């Protein structure tokens, strides 16, 4: 009996430690940034209302005569300013740009834990803001996201019919896979891992299967470009391959040799491929 009690105590302690670690993991590191976009004096700082009345800090970068806007969503622990290298090719091509800090990131409001569904809520709020305040500039809307921001872009586009294209950078295929990889860093019993995963689903209020890019990529009403680095150790390129195998007829996969998870700056060297993808699907800064 004493041995059984000790065993149960150890298992309970492991479960509690796992859950505590998960809550810490939901606290995304906040990097506020400098509050400016160097070299872009015409950029307009704004605030966008998202879920529960929270405010997002955002930058709208206008372009003369364009009727298309590229909305760029950063990843976990990032901010809008970090996405500027990714935005530059689209700016030079003549697109309007909207960059926003998700809640709990950059200069946006705090709001409890961060999660993929919350990222998606914020991105959808940005689309709504454009439709309301810049309708003439939002006749074509392109969502570009990095990491969890890419997963959010896919989730938003799977729920709307007014998105013209999605460019996904380093998206994971399934939250369960990503979290399991993270939890495997500790010697946790299998049932503790399962409990932790179910607990996270309860916290965020969504089943992983419903919001996973592996599922949402198949529910899009627009073209999808998957971009992934071959040297990504945070989200292995195998995740992109899994999405492509499931929905290959409806997407394009661009694998960048040697690029890691955070090689946003290296994406710029492949700008012709990104812009070419949009042009192929009739998406240009302004009508020809």
Tokens representing 119?
A: 């990222």
Residue 19's pLDDT is what?
52
Domains in the chain and their CATH numbers? 44-173+213-280 (3.40.50.1820)
CB atoms within 10 A of CB 286: 15
Note if the pTM is more than 0.85: yes
Q: Is the pLDDT of residue 3 over 70?
A: no
Residue 114's pLDDT is what?
94
**Residue 249, burial from CB neighbour count under 10 angstroms (0-12, 13-18, 19+):** exposed
* Average pLDDT of the residues in 186-193: 84
Contacts of 248 (CB under 8 A, 6+ apart): none
Q: Is the pLDDT of residue 44 over 50?
A: yes
Q: What is the DSSP string of 81-95?
A: GGGHHHHHHHHHHT-
**Per residue in 6-39, pLDDT tens?**
433 444 444 445 455 555 555 778 788 888 888 8
Residue 2's pLDDT is what?
44
**Per residue in 205-253, pLDDT tens?**
999 999 999 999 999 999 999 999 999 999 999 999 999 999 988 899 9
Share of the chain above pLDDT 90, in %: 74
**Per residue in 100-136, pLDDT tens?**
999 999 999 999 999 999 999 999 999 999 999 999 9
């Amino acid at each position: 009996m004493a041995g059984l009690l000790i065993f149960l105590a150890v298992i309970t302690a492991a479960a509690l430690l796992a859950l505590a670690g998960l809550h810490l993991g939901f606290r995304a590191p906040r990097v506020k940034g400098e509050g400016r976009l160097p070299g872009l004096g015409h950029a307009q700082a704004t605030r966008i209302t998202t879920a529960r009345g929270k405010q997002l800090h955002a930058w709208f970068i206008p372009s003369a005569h364009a009727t298309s806007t590229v909305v760029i969503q950063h990843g976990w622990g990032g901010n809008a300013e970090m996405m500027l290298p990714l935005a530059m090719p689209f700016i030079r091509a003549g697109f309007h740009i909207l960059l926003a800090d998700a809640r709990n990131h950059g200069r946006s409001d705090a709001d409890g834990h961060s999660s993929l569904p919350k990222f998606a809520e914020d991105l959808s709020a940005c689309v709504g803001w454009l439709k309301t305040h810049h309708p003439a500039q939002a006749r074509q809307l392109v969502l570009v996201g990095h990491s969890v921001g890419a997963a959010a872009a896919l989730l938003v586009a799977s729920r709307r019919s007014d998105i013209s294209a999605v460019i996904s950078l380093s998206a994971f295929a399934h939250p369960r896979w990503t979290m399991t990889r993270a939890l495997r860093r500790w010697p946790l019993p299998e049932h503790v891992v399962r409990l932790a995963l179910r607990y996270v689903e309860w916290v965020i209020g969504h089943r992983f299967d419903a919001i996973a890019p592996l599922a949402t990529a198949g529910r899009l009403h627009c073209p999808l470009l998957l971009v992934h680095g071959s040297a990504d150790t945070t989200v292995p390129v195998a995740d992109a391959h899994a999405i492509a195998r499931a929905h290959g007829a409806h997407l394009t996969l661009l694998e960048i040799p040697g690029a890691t998870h955070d090689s946003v700056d290296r994406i710029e060297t492949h700008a012709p491929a990104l812009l070419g993808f949009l042009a192929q699907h009739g998406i240009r800064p302004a009508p020809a």
